[in-house]
Amino acid sequence: MVLYCASLMIPTQCLGRICLPEEHVALFIFGESMIDAGNNNYINTTTVLQSNIWPYGESYFKYPSGRASDGRLIPDFIAEYLKLPFVPPYLHPGYHRYTDGANFASAGAGALVETNRGLVIDLHTQFHYFEKMERLLRQKLGEAETMTLLSRALYFISIGTNEYLVPFTSNSTMLQSYSHEEYVGMVIGNMTTVIKEIYNKGGRKFAFLNVEPLGCIPLAKALKPGNGGACIEEMTALVKLHNKALSHVLQIQESQLKGFKYSKADLYSFVTERMKNRLKYGFKEGKMACCGSGPYRGVVNCGGKGSVKEYELCGNPSEYVFFDAGHPSEKAYQQLAKLMWDGDLNVTWPYGIKALVGHK
Ligand SMILES: *[C@@H]1O[C@H](CO)[C@@H](O)[C@H](O)[C@H]1NC(C)=O
Ligand SMILES: *[C@@H]1O[C@H](CO)[C@@H](O)[C@H](O)[C@H]1NC(C)=O
Ligand SMILES: *[C@@H]1O[C@H](CO)[C@@H](O)[C@H](O)[C@H]1NC(C)=O
Ligand SMILES: *[C@@H]1O[C@H](CO)[C@@H](O)[C@H](O)[C@H]1NC(C)=O
């Protein structure tokens, strides 16, 4: 039986008393600052891990929502493609429209609880919040309809960046205690645990970002100004190891978990390509950030956060690949979101998100 929303005359499924279009796909988001829509506005953390100050958000929202860019992030564009409203931070007071999804991501978070411990919502805690939300959904919609919602939903995950950044920016000794292979193995292992937990709750469709070319971003170059603009090779080596392990583990999950499907975007190549050939992709500046200070504007103090209050801001963020020391501009995110949705196999593998979620 096909039901119709009275006012819209489009096919719907009725979840409990909530009437949703038949193609309805909820969007659940887990990870770090690439995709945090502002959860860190609501936790005790350091200003460096928050983006709720001007000029963050200047290009699109016109206020600093907490997103670490000048405007929308990849999940915002994906939400638009899915015909959903922007998915707010889970911790946003009063937010309960979980039938559309929720964003659990936290800037600075990692798959390892040790990463920025006490300052972020780590990946395991993000999953616990998801479980809390899921219990509320079951009360509202019932078992069967919650299962339908969760199995049709898209789970968007970006994690790992901070595991390869924090050892170079703080006095953490985590990395020194292990070989690179062991360390990457723990990151991937903990991420896989959470993927399986989501799968056990009914999740089937996953989208991933691999880790950007961290060793070459403005932040890394500013860490070693004596390097004359060279990349930090050890960081690059770790990131490459991680990205290879991620590709491998996702193939394994697809073969072992019945019905598990994924789309993995190669953020590493995407950003590297634009840093090298900025003009080809419509950017004027590929190496220096729009907002920050010091070499390559790579000091993390956009908006005056951090210890150095004086910062520089470019006139037009859409001319820059990087908005701040560590994060792409809205324009770069928009380009990637489109490639991910359409399924450009140069960047996303083995499907695009549109095909993954079965949108026509
Ligand atoms: C956050 O930190 C402040 C100051 O240290 C403290 O007063 C407050 O209780 C903390 N809030 C939470 C939710 O932990
Ligand atoms: C690391 O430790 C040294 C010595 O205790 C200290 O001077 C330095 O500020 C610390 N660096 C960071 C990033 O915490
Ligand atoms: C998860 O990370 C912890 C360190 O936080 C590590 O001891 C553990 O072995 C990791 N788990 C997996 C499955 O890799
Ligand atoms: C994909 O990559 C190939 C080889 O690098 C290139 O020739 C082609 O133009 C790319 N396609 C798109 C849509 O970017």
The pLDDT tens digits of the residues spanning 209-221 come to 999 999 999 999 9
User: Of the residues 269, 346, 348, which should be mutated to test ligand 4's pocket, given the most ligand atoms within 8 Å of the CB?
Assistant: 346
- Indicate whether 352 belongs to any domain: no
Residue 292 lies in a domain: no
Range of the domain at 241: 2-286+328-344
Clarify whether 255 is annotated catalytic.
no
pLDDT in tens, 266-304: 999 999 999 999 999 999 999 999 999 999 999 999 999
Query: Which of 140 and 23 is assigned the larger pLDDT?
Result: 140
Residue 315 maps to a domain: no
Cβ contact 112:182 at 8 Å = no
Residue 69 maps to which CATH number?
3.40.50.1110
Q: What would the two tokens of residue 81 be?
A: 């493609």
Active site residue 33: yes
Flag whether 88 is in a domain. Answer: yes
What is the pTM (predicted TM-score) of this model? 0.93
Q: Residue 228 pLDDT > 90, yes or no?
A: no
Among the bound ligands, the one closest to the CA of 48: 2
Domain presence at residue 269? yes
Count CB-CB contacts under 10 A for residue 314.
20
In angstroms, the CA 50 to CA 262 distance is 30
Q: Is the peptide bond before 225 cis (omega within 30 degrees of 0)?
A: no
- Do 191 and 126 touch, CB atoms closer than 8 A? no
Contacts of 177 by beta carbon, 8 Å cutoff, 6+ apart: none
What are the angstrom distances between the C-alpha of 121 and each of 13, 47, 268?
34, 15, 24
Whose CA is closest to atom 9 on ligand 3? 186
Q: Which one from 33, 51, 293, 318 is the annotated catalytic residue?
A: 33
* Long-range contacts (CB closer than 8 Å, 24 or more residues apart) made by 273-281: 274/321, 274/332, 274/335, 275/213, 275/216, 275/321, 278/321, 281/335
Among the listed residues 301, 147, 158, the one whose alpha carbon sits nearest the alpha carbon of residue 222 = 301
The number of distinct structural domains making up the chain is: 1
Would 232 be classed as within a structural domain? yes
**Residue 184 clears pLDDT 90, i.e. is over it:** yes
| pLDDT at 6 (0 to 100) | 45
Closest ligand 2 atom, residue 169 Cα: 13
CB of 134 closer than 8 Å to CB of 126: no
Question: From CA 270, how far away is CA 275, in angstroms rounded?
Answer: 9
122 part of the active site = no
For residue 30, the model assigns a pLDDT of 99
Q: What is the distance in A from the centroid of ligand 1 to the CA of 44? A: 6
Q: With respect to residue 165, please indicate whether it lies within any of the assigned structural domains.
A: yes
Under the banding of pLDDT at 50, 70 and 90, the label for residue 20 is confident
pLDDT score of 172: 84
Q: Which ligand is nearest to the CA of 110?
A: 3
**Amino acid at site 233:** E
172: CA distance to ligand 2 center in Å? 10
Per-residue model confidence as pLDDT tens digits over 69-83: 999 999 999 999 999
Has residue 257 been placed in a domain? Answer: yes
For residue 92, the CA-to-ligand 1 centroid distance in Å is 17
